[in-house]
Structure 1
Amino acid sequence: MKANYLVAVVVVCGAAIWIGSGVFGREADHSAKPAQAEEKVVPRFRVAVVKTRQEMHARQIVLSGRTEADRRVTVTTRANGTVIDLKVRRGSVVKTGDVMAVLSDEAREAMVAQAQARLEQRKAELKARLTLIAQGNLAPLQRPSLEAELRAAEASLAQAQAEFEKNEVRAPIGGIVNSVPIERGQALETGASVADVISLDPMLAVVEVAERQLSGVKLGDKATVRVITGEEVEGRVRFISAAASAQTRTYRIDVEIPNADHGIPDGVTCEVMLALAPVPATQVPRSALTFSSEGRLGVRSVGPDGKVAFNDVTIVQDGPSDVWLSGVPDGARVVVQGQDFVKEGEIVEAVPAETLIKS
């Protein structure tokens, strides 16, 4: 009986030890697994990033406009008369002071001759009477009156000559004759149109700029003008309107461009590229642009701790492959691949875009 009792005690103790070892082993395993799990935490997503740098960027805007002659004058007559000689036609090139048309005399030459004769008479009278004054035969008080008569005669001759010169219609500016609405033999009154003259050198490129871009344009700024004919020339901003257009709320800007060979015609379409004042901006690939859940335009970046952040941006200048943005922190790692698959606050693995491309 004692032997059986001892065997039973041994069996019970062995069973207890075996059961206890299993329980404690499971508890040890459970306590070790969380530690191992914490050690094996990995980012949930891999994204490609580029490190950016903020710098001063000279913005450039492209505006559509038109060319416009710097000066345009309608040449008119200054006296009545019949056109007896017409020296220009459409397309003629004239210089300042060139005779464009000659009108009939209308007795103006006779008036010059009459004024000339009166002047000679006054000169002779003054000479004779000055001799009498010197001899004491005439009162010296008459001398101022005689000299006044001479001056009046000189003025009358100058007036008659000025009227006579009105027979010739001269070009007030140099340029190209654009139209000639009269014919030889036609009777004209004072102020009648003889021709239109336009000056093509320099030429103006006229554009309209929005008020938000106006502050970046200054007088004397360089500009590149591309004409629809394919010609491209350099110019400078010569005029900036001080008042906005009531219809468009835009401001007129004139860019002066050289046109010595008259190769750029008046009134053709052109593009003007203006370099605006530099502003702090960051260059990133176009693919980096995305929208937040609220619909705001921006880029996603990855911080040193691997967390994703969203940065609201404003486009400074758009390009075919890259864009210049304001609002990106200096030195930020901007996500260029995978930005649409992560959210703000999410921990990711940031891989340089060059490394990802090579792999």
Structure 2
Amino acid sequence: MRRQLLLGGALALLVVLPLSIKALRTSEQKAVEVATVGKRAITPSILASGILAFGSQVTLVSEVLARVGDVLVTEGSSVRRGQVLLRLESESLHAEIAQLTAARRQAELAVDRQRIRLEAAVSKLKRNEELHRHGMVDSLRFDDLASEVHLAEVELRNSQEAVRQSSALLAQAQLRLTKTEVRAPIDGIVTTISIKRGETAVPSAMSIAGGSLMVVADTRQLYAEIQVDESDIARVTAEHEATIVPVAFPDRLLKGKVETIALTPRQAPGQSRTYPVRIRLDPVPDLKFHPGMSARADIATAATAQRLAVPLQAIQYEGPSGASKANVFVVENSTVRKRVIEPGISDDSYLEVIKGLNADDVVVVGPAKTLRFLREGERVQPRPGAQKTAALGGPSTGEASR
């Protein structure tokens, strides 16, 4: 009898214990962080990277082959348009000009000589013309005199062409002489000097020694030259606002607007296509600017608007890729209920909710581990001081989800 009672008690314990554990688990409240759904200013945007640049930058190269005589500026010097920055040695060009000047004078003397010959030939032909009519000069002699006039005319024209040729060669040499003085093409600052006194300047568009003399930049206007991926370029238009963060100054936020968008893409080997976008930066008087600095750009793709939104941490996705549904856990009477939502645009912190939630709904936002294993109907307890409101805080920017 006693044995039967023990067996019955054991069986009852096996039945009651799981039910009791389940009941205890059901009544257990998980500590969670929550946020109240509300309206928030959302600015959809795209992220891209690039470099900082001056508004106008000119690389000066030599147009004549000559040795550098004087460098009249230093890096950082302010210059005005037309100011002489560098002089090349010009002795050989002066000698060439003297030679060509003498050659032109000789050609002019040849013209004078041929003109005199022509006048003499014409006068002789006229005297013999009357004699030819009276039969005193035979036709063969008269034809020879006429031919001498024509030849004299040709020789005169030839000498005149020689003068023009000499003048052209002299003008070219004089032009080359002016190019021995390298002048500033714009107002600005000398940012780079690539050659020293005594080195040879080489007229070349290639990156060889002596090919580049110096760089002058207009520093009054600053730009960011950003490379935008081809999948995002359709959402970027002129006058879109942008925030630029230089890598060298991560605590400085530079503001600007999109000015130009390239029509053709660029593609480096092994990389995707990108489109250069030029962003005009607002004046920043105390920025230590260096062209070529790497920078990160956040380009707004739509105007900021107040929209019903939830924190991104609250969103969970279920279903196959491409057809997944977004859902959140809503807290009702200390119990969580799963809600499927229709998402809209987003920034880097919040997601717009088109359908599925109402203002003042309370959603679970964390902790992430708890949220990951949370199930429908479980009881929760917001952690003291952890409640957040989606409507608080200023607008932020980030990658748009749509």
> Is the 2:328–2:363 Cα contact (8 Å) retained in structure 1?
no
> Is the 2:191–2:215 Cα contact (8 Å) retained in structure 1?
yes
Judged with a 3 Å threshold, the aligned counterparts in structure 2 of structure 1 residues 66 and 133 are, in CA distance, closer, same or farther, namely same
Structure 1 residue 141 displacement after superposition? 3.5
Within 2, Cα distance between the matches of 1:103 and 1:162?
A: 14
Q: Which amino acid aligns with 2:193?
A: V
> Is the 2:256–2:279 Cα contact (8 Å) retained in structure 1?
no
Structure 1 residue 190 displacement after superposition? 3.0
> Is the 2:258–2:277 Cα contact (8 Å) retained in structure 1?
no
> Is the 2:61–2:214 Cα contact (8 Å) retained in structure 1?
yes
> Is the 1:115–1:153 Cα contact (8 Å) retained in structure 2?
yes
Q: Tell me what 2:278 maps to.
A: 254
Q: Tell me what 1:73 maps to.
A: 59
Structure 2: runs of 5 or more not aligned? 1-34, 124-148, 204-209, 331-336, 365-370, 378-388, 390-402
Within 2, Cα distance between the matches of 1:194 and 1:65?
A: 25
Q: Tell me what 1:197 maps to.
A: 215
Q: Deviations over 1:156-203 (max 9, x none)?
A: 21122133334333445554323435443x252534256331424443
Judged with a 3 Å threshold, the aligned counterparts in structure 2 of structure 1 residues 134 and 101 are, in CA distance, closer, same or farther, namely same
Structure 1 residue 153 displacement after superposition? 1.3
Q: TM-score, normalised by structure 2?
A: 0.55
Q: Tell me what 1:11 maps to.
A: none
The percentage of aligned residue pairs carrying the same residue is: 19
Within 1, Cα distance between the matches of 2:100 and 2:222?
A: 46
Q: Tell me what 1:41 maps to.
A: none
Within 1, Cα distance between the matches of 2:233 and 2:85?
A: 43
Q: Tell me what 2:385 maps to.
A: none
Matched ranges for 1:143-222 at <5 A: 143-171=156-184, 174-184=187-197, 186-188=198-200, 190-191=202-203, 192-193=210-211, 195-201=213-219, 202-222=221-241
Q: Tell me what 2:347 maps to.
A: 317
Judged with a 3 Å threshold, the aligned counterparts in structure 2 of structure 1 residues 244 and 282 are, in CA distance, closer, same or farther, namely farther
> Is the 2:258–2:279 Cα contact (8 Å) retained in structure 1?
yes
Within 2, Cα distance between the matches of 1:84 and 1:244?
A: 42
Structure 1 residue 204 displacement after superposition? 2.7
Within 2, Cα distance between the matches of 1:333 and 1:315?
A: 17
Judged with a 3 Å threshold, the aligned counterparts in structure 2 of structure 1 residues 104 and 174 are, in CA distance, closer, same or farther, namely same
Within 2, Cα distance between the matches of 1:260 and 1:337?
A: 43
Q: Over aligned residue pairs, what C-alpha RMSD do you find? A: 4.5
Q: Which amino acid aligns with 1:85?
A: D
> Is the 1:77–1:193 Cα contact (8 Å) retained in structure 2?
no
Matched ranges for 1:80-99 at <5 A: 80-81=66-67, 83-99=68-84
Q: Tell me what 1:275 maps to.
A: 300
Within 2, Cα distance between the matches of 1:152 and 1:260?
A: 56
Within 1, Cα distance between the matches of 2:242 and 2:236?
A: 10
Which of 1 and 2 has greater Rg?
1
Q: Tell me what 2:252 maps to.
A: 230
Structure 1 residue 266 displacement after superposition? 1.4
Structure 1 residue 88 displacement after superposition? 1.6
Q: Which amino acid aligns with 1:249?
A: S
Structure 1 residue 125 displacement after superposition? 3.9
Judged with a 3 Å threshold, the aligned counterparts in structure 2 of structure 1 residues 77 and 134 are, in CA distance, closer, same or farther, namely closer
Judged with a 3 Å threshold, the aligned counterparts in structure 2 of structure 1 residues 62 and 163 are, in CA distance, closer, same or farther, namely closer
Judged with a 3 Å threshold, the aligned counterparts in structure 2 of structure 1 residues 96 and 247 are, in CA distance, closer, same or farther, namely farther
Q: TM-score, normalised by structure 1?
A: 0.60
Structure 1 residue 276 displacement after superposition? 0.9
Quick check: 1:111 aligned with 2:96? yes
Q: Deviations over 1:105-145 (max 9, x none)?
A: 34321211221232233334435644654672454333432
- Greater displacement, 282-291 / 159-168: 282-291
Q: Which amino acid aligns with 2:180?
A: N
Within 2, Cα distance between the matches of 1:292 and 1:260?
A: 43
Within 1, Cα distance between the matches of 2:36 and 2:212?
A: 71
Judged with a 3 Å threshold, the aligned counterparts in structure 2 of structure 1 residues 75 and 152 are, in CA distance, closer, same or farther, namely closer
Within 2, Cα distance between the matches of 1:112 and 1:77?
A: 17
Judged with a 3 Å threshold, the aligned counterparts in structure 2 of structure 1 residues 248 and 335 are, in CA distance, closer, same or farther, namely farther
The SS at the match of 1:163 is helix
Judged with a 3 Å threshold, the aligned counterparts in structure 2 of structure 1 residues 181 and 318 are, in CA distance, closer, same or farther, namely closer
Within 2, Cα distance between the matches of 1:195 and 1:65?
A: 26
Structure 1: runs of 5 or more not aligned? 1-47, 302-306, 345-353, 355-359
> Is the 1:84–1:104 Cα contact (8 Å) retained in structure 2?
yes
The SS at the match of 1:313 is strand
Quick check: 1:337 aligned with 2:356? no
Q: Deviations over 1:265-310 (max 9, x none)?
A: 3133544332214699953232893436668533479xxxxx9751
> Is the 1:177–1:195 Cα contact (8 Å) retained in structure 2?
no
> Is the 2:265–2:273 Cα contact (8 Å) retained in structure 1?
no
The SS at the match of 2:61 is strand
Within 1, Cα distance between the matches of 2:95 and 2:304?
A: 73
Q: Which amino acid aligns with 2:265?
A: A
Within 2, Cα distance between the matches of 1:215 and 1:62?
A: 14
Structure 1 residue 62 displacement after superposition? 5.0
Within 2, Cα distance between the matches of 1:259 and 1:154?
A: 52
